[in-house]
Structure 1
Amino acid sequence: MNSILNHSTELLILIFLVITYIMSIIDKLSDWKGTILFLKSHFKNTFVLPLLPVTLVIILILELLTTVFCSLGIFEIITEKTTYFSLLGSVFSCLVLLLFLLGQRIAKDFEGARHITIYFTVSVFAVYLFQHHF
């Protein structure tokens, strides 16, 4: 119990990231056709359009890796008091969000790009925290 209380900030950030990416994965997989249709509309006048299905699979894999690493990080902090997987999950989260940001900028969706900043801030803070912790 002390481990949980002593590392509540780290655990809450990891839980936040796990929820974020699990929901993103579920949303994409539960409505694959809708997701593709939305993305085709979103990127209709860009060079990204022909790459959408492959890009979406890559994003899903990266989101899954992020979720797995952050989940392992929760377990790792509680049981072993280390942050290797937490750091990996946080770095992967930053990479995914940078890809999202790039996509929003390519689509000229500046409002969408601005919203990514919120998640990116949490992820970068997590990287900082896990690099300088324990």
Structure 2
Amino acid sequence: MNNFIVHIVPITILIFMLITFFISGMEKIFDWKGNCTFLKTHFSGTFLSKMIPFSLMLLIILDVAITIGCLISGYQLILYGEKESTVYTFFICCITLLLMLIGQRVAKDYPGALTISCYFMVAIFGLYISSI
């Protein structure tokens, strides 16, 4: 129980990221066609429009990796106080969000980019707090 209290901040952020990326991944998997259609419209007129299926598959893989990373990291933090997998998980979260930010900026979706920036601030704080 002591590890839980000591690592309460990264554990809470891991739960936040777990919820965020798990739901995101499930939505992409179960509504592949709808997501492809939306993204093709969203990125029409950009160089990304031809890469939608590949980009969507990459995001699904990253969503699943982050979800698994959050579960493993939370387990290791609570039971052993180990932070290494937490650092890697938050780093992958940050890279994923940066990739999504690039897409939103290319599409000139500035409100969408702002939303991703909010998630990024949480992820970068998790990375910071886990790496000290």
What percentage of residue pairs aligned between the two structures are identical? 36
The correspondence of residues 1-40 of structure 1 with structure 2, limited to 5 A, is: 1-40=1-40
- Equivalence for 1:116: 116
The unaligned stretches of length 5 or more in structure 1 are: none
Q: Give the Å deviation of 1:5.
A: 2.2
Residue 54 of structure 2 corresponds to which residue in structure 1? 54
Which residue does the alignment assign to 1:76? Answer: 76
Deviation at 1:83, TM superposition (A): 0.7
2:95 is equivalent to residue 88 of structure 1:
no
Q: 2:7 touches 2:81 (CA, 8 Å); kept in 1? A: no
Equivalent position of 2:42 in the other structure: 42
Please report the TM-score for the alignment, with normalisation by the length of structure 1: 0.95
Give secondary structure in 2 for the equivalent of 1:39: helix
Cα distance, 1:90 vs structure 2: 0.2
Correspondence for 1:100:
100
Normalised by the size of structure 2, how large is the TM-score?
0.96
Q: Which runs of 4+ in 1 moved over 4 A?
A: none
Distance (Å, rounded) in 1 between the aligned partners of 2:98 and 2:6:
31
Deviation of 1:89 (Å): 0.7
Q: Distance in 1 between matches of 2:93 and 2:6?
A: 24
- TM-superposed CA distance for 1:55, in Å, is 1.0
Query: 1:30 offset after TM fit, Å?
Result: 1.2
In the alignment, structure 2 segments of 5+ residues that lack a partner are none
Q: CA deviation at 1:64?
A: 1.2
Displacement of 1:71? 1.1
Shift of 1:8: 1.4
Aligned residue pair count: 132
Shift of 1:130: 0.9
Number of the residue aligned with 2:66: 66
